[in-house]
Structure 1
Amino acid sequence: DISFAIDQGLANRMELRQRKIDIESSQFDLIQTKALNEFKGSLGLSIGLFGDNEKFGNVYSNPTDNEEVSLSLTIPLWDWGERKSRIKATEATIEAANISFDEERNDIILGIRQVYRNLINLRNQITIARQNVTNAQLTYDLNLERYRNGDLTGMDLNLFQEQLSQKQLSYTNSLISYKLELLNLKIQTLYDFEKKEQVSPVMELEK
């Protein structure tokens, strides 16, 4: 199922996950950039008692009120447009990351579709190659009987034998090509369609 294969590829491919991480990282950078040179203020208030006496036990016998209020302001200096430039640069990075994500996604879809088409063609080739082997085998058997009856020379029989061998080799090659393309689909989707299970890239490397 081509739709299932594409869904698996989009869900499992690490390249696409990395593109998402790049987008999220760029968005976080934008938040930090916008927070630069902001007007900030803080107000602090403390109220307590202050005592002073040579004898420790009488420190608070004549206490003095001690109130303290603090106000701090952070006023950004004129940055001559530096903040806006940084914001624009970060927004451009986000846009580039989104474009990279879309391109990667399209490449994955196109790659899987191509592999799927190749598999269909290879299946047809296998069917044709199998039929060619059957026909070549029948032709060889008939001519082998003719050879046994003395109606065909050994050289002529060898020609039919070579034809049969070529058809068998072609059939074997088509099977190998199909297996290789099936492996390619497994790589493209990170899904094993023979075992019907997802594939972990780490596990594959360890094997």
Structure 2
Amino acid sequence: MRRPTTSTCRRQSLVRQRPARGRAGASEPHSCRIALKFLVAVPCVSAQNTGLGTPLQLVQPEGQSAPPPLITLQDALERARRLDAQFQSAIADAQIARQDRVQAKSSLLPSVSHTTQYLGTQGNGFAPSGRFVTNDGVHVYRSWGVVHQELSPNTVLMTGYRRAQAAEALSNAKVEIAQRGLAVTVTKNYYALVISQRKYATAQQAAQQAMRFLEISQQAERVGQVAHSDVVKAEIQYEQQKQTYQESMLAMENARLNLAVLLFPALNENFTVVDDLDSAQTLPPFPDIRTMAERENPDLRVASEALRQANLDVRGAQNAFLPSLVLDGNYGIEANAFALHSKIAAAPQYGPLPNVGYSITANLTLPVWDWGTRRSKLRQAQTREQQARVQLTQAQRQIVSNLYSFYNEALAARAAVDGLRHAADLAAESLRLINLRYQAGESTALEVVDAQNTLVQMRNAYDDAQSRYRVALATLQTVTGNF
């Protein structure tokens, strides 16, 4: 009869466990594996089911009574965007910058307002103007519609508006940076949980194998086939694997807590994740990656827009040396009675006259001397502009460096996945053969223990390599955008 493959045995060992709270489990590398998304439940296994002694009792948050939701990586990213404070802060900054741009555009246009005033002056008994000579009567009423327009160099050249546009573009680029950084964080935590569940299943199976080896060695000792030292070695191996099993439970619980913090507004561990590590996307060729990095990199946009802001600050400081013109147009009444027609207190002989009219005020301001303040502000703006240029060139170098570094990391991770998949299969076959040799009296207990440890190491290394490749792709996409 054909012996089941390692992956089949591993999944069967998980199926025998009782379900609890929808924990997701592991899969085993094998050449015949079907690359599909699947979900495996990994509960806290009882001592009666595994024979591993009293299980580790961990303190856990109270879960919800509803069925656990199935969360894919894309679901996790969407949930994290709604809850992450840093990402939401970047969105708020972008919205504020957009309103700044709207306000800057409005400041270029004339403003219209209305004002109503009453001026009462104490009379002197002789002159109709009263005691204040600036008024032409003891009662003065003003009701004006005012059109105000500032024609400064910054207004004419739209310096403030263009700077607000640059600030908005910079804020939008920072949103993209925050989103890509959050994607890396979520990807790490998501696959950390998947890998911890795989390692939990590996540790459980390794402990069961160590327990079976202990039973075999005890039986062989009773019939005089092996020395007592083999039993001691087997018992030490069993205790070590049982401890590893309990540590894997703790690691899985911590990984679940870390992901839950990112995904739920209230801490909730009642969810399941999808183990899709076997369906990772293909790494594009480097020329395509370089093209995407040149076109879609937000760090470069941030540095470029910061330089654009600095250039506009210099222009604004230079505009301060130029004259400015302010125009005010008034339409309404300024009379001794609040009416369309009335007598003028200072000239009643003319009878009622129309009160409604207009006036225009033009105010030209020419800067002359301010003890070097404007010159100092210009030098400050020029210094900031120079610093922005340095930051832009550094950002360009750093982006190119990250592009090569992240792409090479993805290449190395992909190669590790291919190599460790085969190594894990070889380790499983090696353990099977050494167990057969030990039962036939042709192998030592040390060889069995070494084969068990090697299998655990290869399985865990393969799982880590798959997670490493996924994280490497997410990190590369911080430079290139999605591909």
TM-score, normalised with respect to structure 1: 0.71
- Deviations, residues 21-50 of structure 1 (Å, cap 9, x unaligned): 10121122222222336434556789xxxx
Structure 2 residue runs without a partner (length 5+): 1-70, 118-122, 126-139, 272-483
Query: Is 1:131 the counterpart of 2:205 in the alignment?
Result: yes
On the 8 A contact 1:129/1:174 being kept in 2, the answer is yes
Partner of 1:108: 182
Partner of 1:11: 82
Partner of 1:199: none
- Deviations, residues 162-193 of structure 1 (Å, cap 9, x unaligned): 11122212222222222222122123324545
Q: Which aligned pairs between 1:10-49 and structure 2 lie closer than 5 A?
A: 10-36=81-107, 38-41=109-112
Q: How many angstroms does 1:99 deviate by? A: 1.1
Distance 2:187 2:167 in 1: 30
On the 8 A contact 1:36/1:83 being kept in 2, the answer is no
Partner of 1:158: 232
2:269 equivalent among 194, 198, 202: 194
Query: Is 1:122 the counterpart of 2:193 in the alignment?
Result: no
* Greater displacement, 115-124 / 156-165: 115-124
On the 8 A contact 1:9/1:188 being kept in 2, the answer is yes
Structure 1 residue runs without a partner (length 5+): 47-51, 55-65, 197-207
Q: Which aligned pairs between 1:58-207 and structure 2 lie closer than 5 A?
A: 70=144, 72-80=146-154, 84-190=158-264, 192-195=267-270
Distance 1:134 1:38 in 2: 79
TM-score, normalised with respect to structure 2: 0.34
Distance 1:70 1:131 in 2: 88
Distance 1:118 1:67 in 2: 76
Structure 1 residues 45 and 194, CA gap change in structure 2 (3 angstroms): closer
On the 8 A contact 2:108/2:155 being kept in 1, the answer is no
In structure 2, give the amino acid aligned to 1:25.
Answer: I
Distance 1:68 1:121 in 2: 78
On the 8 A contact 2:257/2:269 being kept in 1, the answer is no
Q: How many angstroms does 1:113 deviate by? A: 2.7
On the 8 A contact 1:34/1:83 being kept in 2, the answer is no
Q: How many angstroms does 1:158 deviate by? A: 1.3
- Deviations, residues 102-145 of structure 1 (Å, cap 9, x unaligned): 22122223322332223222222222221111111011022223
- Deviations, residues 2-24 of structure 1 (Å, cap 9, x unaligned): 13322211111112221121012
Structure 1 residues 156 and 87, CA gap change in structure 2 (3 angstroms): same
Number of residues paired by the alignment? 187
Distance 2:143 2:206 in 1: 97
Q: How many angstroms does 1:82 deviate by? A: 7.3
* Greater displacement, 94-103 / 147-156: 147-156
Which structure dedicates a bigger proportion of its chain to helix? 1
Higher relative contact order (CA 8 A, sep 6+): 1
In structure 2, give the amino acid aligned to 1:139.
Answer: F
Distance 1:115 1:69 in 2: 67
Structure 1 residues 37 and 112, CA gap change in structure 2 (3 angstroms): closer
On the 8 A contact 1:112/1:188 being kept in 2, the answer is yes
In structure 1, give the amino acid aligned to 2:92.
Answer: I
On the 8 A contact 2:220/2:226 being kept in 1, the answer is yes
* Greater displacement, 164-173 / 92-101: 164-173
In structure 2, give the amino acid aligned to 1:147.
Answer: E
In structure 2, give the amino acid aligned to 1:74.
Answer: H
